[in-house]
Each structure stands twice: as structure tokens, then as C-alpha cells.
Amino acid sequence: MKKFKLSIIVFLCCFTHRIFSQTIEGYKFENFPAKVLNVKKAKLNNESHKLGKEYKTEFAKQYKIGNVNFGGHFIIIAWGAGSGLTLGAMVDMNDGEIYEIPLNEENSYRGTYHDNNNNIFYKRGSNLFICYSSKASEKDESYVDLKYYFYKFDDITKKFSLLKTKNTTVKRID
């Protein structure tokens, strides 16, 4: 029985490390650590940001079922804004305040379907936020032109800073 428990622990450690150590275009989430806090969810404060007022129902629904998924104590709330655009914000579980995340028409528009439309990447124990926009390659329709945006979140100022953008062309994944 002890060997079985040890095997499970080793498996979980390896699995967790593999997920957390994901690298996207040279950026590793583990290089931007955020301490994951064990906090009780504060009451959502929709009045703290204009998006909370405008998308009150979406915030209430996602915040209620959400868990920490970014920066150690935030819940990312995202929604489709039509025509392949994703918008969103994040809620601080400590105080229920809403903060903007760097999603807009330029960096999250999916002009072509690629990789199940998973174009936003973040981890619960990291301050790295990555997104990309996509469009069909003009040279070959079986390829997609991606423009990646890499951001670092500062938990003190509650602001994102753009680290880098990177253009790449990849084979379409449908």
C-alpha cells in the first residue's frame, strides 16, 4: 500500500510539473512565479470596473464556479465578443475587485480557426499571460499566421506590461 501511495505522489508531482512548465514560443510559465494563496472568495464587486457593470451576469456566473486560475489569487473571466474575438477581465479573490486583462481586437482576434481556438494561456501559479491573434496565411491556406503577445502581470500595481510580440506561421490544427 505504501508503494502505491508513493507511486501516486510521484505521478502527481511529475504531471503537475509538466503542466506548469509548459513553454510557448520560448516563454515558460515557471519563470514568472506567483504564490498560490488559499483564500476564501470575497464577494464579487461589479461596481469596481466598468466591465463588471456591463457584463454583470457573465461575471456572476463564472466567478461563482471559478477557482484560482491566474497569478496566485485571481480568476480569469473571459467571454466571446463575436466574430472570433475574446474579451475578459480578472477578479481578485481577496477583495472581489475586477481588473482588466490585456485582450483586445488586436491581440485576441481569431481570423481563422486554429487549435480549437485556444488562443489565451495562463496558469494559476504564474504571472505570465500569453495570447495570440490569428489569420489565414496568404501564402498557403493550410497554414496560419499567428502573432503572439507575452505579458507579465505586476501584483502590486495590478497592471500588465508587454514583454514581447512574436510573429510565426504554423500548420493549421483543426
User: What is the predicted pLDDT for the residue at 5?
Assistant: 35
Residue-wise pLDDT tens digits, 25-56 = 899 999 999 999 998 999 999 999 999 999 99
C-beta of residue 111 within 8 angstroms of C-beta of residue 135: yes
Residue type, 132: Y
The percentage of residues in the chain with a pLDDT greater than 90, rounded to a whole number, is 57
Q: Rounded mean pLDDT of 156-166?
A: 96
**What is the number of residues in the chain?**
174
> At 134, is the secondary structure helix, strand, or coil?
strand
Does the model's pTM come out above 0.85? no
**Helical (H) or strand (E) element with 19:** helix 2-20
Dihedral sign computed on CA atoms, order 105, 107, 113, 116: negative
CB 150 within 8 A of CB 163: yes
Please check the confidence at residue 150 and state whether its pLDDT lies above 50: yes
Give, in order, the Cα–Cα distances in Å from 116 to each of 55, 153, 172: 25, 26, 10
Which residue in 134, 129, 133 sits closest to 102, CA to CA? 129
CA quadruple 122, 101, 173, 80: dihedral sign: positive
pLDDT tens for 89-118 read: 999 999 999 999 999 888 877 777 666 657
In this predicted structure, what is the pLDDT of residue 121? 93
